[in-house]
Amino acid sequence: MIDLKDINIILTGATGGIGNSILENLILTGANVLATGTNENKLNSIKEKFKNVQTEKFDISNHSEIENFINKANSSLGGKVDILINNAGITKDNLLMRMSEEDYDRVMEVNMKSVFNMTKACQRTFLKNRKGSIINMSSVVGVKGNAGQSNYAASKSGIIGFSKSIAIELGSRNIRCNVIAPGFIKTEMTDKLSEDIIEAWNNNIPLKRPGETQDVANLCLFLASDLSNYITGQVINVDGGLLT
């Protein structure tokens, strides 16, 4: 049984399907979590449902406020943050010929630049404590690309390169940085897809089925725990063998 009692964690994108499963896992292990998102109603539901969780409505694309947010988080979590989980992200899919510059920039701002700013703001605490763990959410699309998702793929690929660099840069200070790359995961978004599209995805997956949000959350929990103390700079796919 993984025990994260008294471990302080910031989790972005906590109101989505994957984020909510990650949060449930963390709470069950006793962690103190500051959960962020932009949906106030969902954040209120989280606060009512779980103990050991604080919620903060925060748009991580508001980069000028990230450092202030991290300072407040340090204070509210007893003076330090132990783990940062950058899970928030958006999509604005379209073929390149129809994709606007605004949609490209927006996805990069939310998905990629927020990871840079959140990590940079948190590293002061990690360096002071000479320990920390950063878990960044990418996607198999960031590894292999996907038609109609050039902006999303660029942002998720950028997270991989950034994370590997941070793992090298901060490793000597006992700060780890790893990446999770989910494949086709069953969420509210995939529930809206047609049966033909779902069947086409499943046919390309060796396990012949989509993953569950819990599959991603379980890996996140492992990377947050001391069981992964010697793992850093890695990209771990949760994809049913899609990229095999």
The residues carrying an active-site annotation are: 152
Q: Are 58 and 36 in contact (CB under 8 A)?
A: yes
Tell me which amino acid residue 73 is.
A
- Residue 134 DSSP SS3: strand
HEC string of 40-105 equals HHHHHHHHHHCCCEEEEECCCCCHHHHHHHHHHHHHHCCCCCCEEEECCCCCCCCCHHHCCHHHHH
- Both tokens assigned to 133: 């763990």
Query: Which is nearest to 8 in space by CA: 163, 174, 132?
Result: 132
Residue 178 gets which letter from DSSP?
E
Residues in the chain: 244
N-to-C CA span, the chain: 30
- Both tokens assigned to 172: 């000597």
> How many angstroms separate the Cα of 118 from the Cα of each of 59, 163, 205?
12, 12, 33
- Both tokens assigned to 28: 């069950």
Query: Which is nearest to 223 in space by CA: 176, 188, 172, 186?
Result: 176
Report the interhelical angle of 150-170 vs 114-129 (nearest 10°). 20
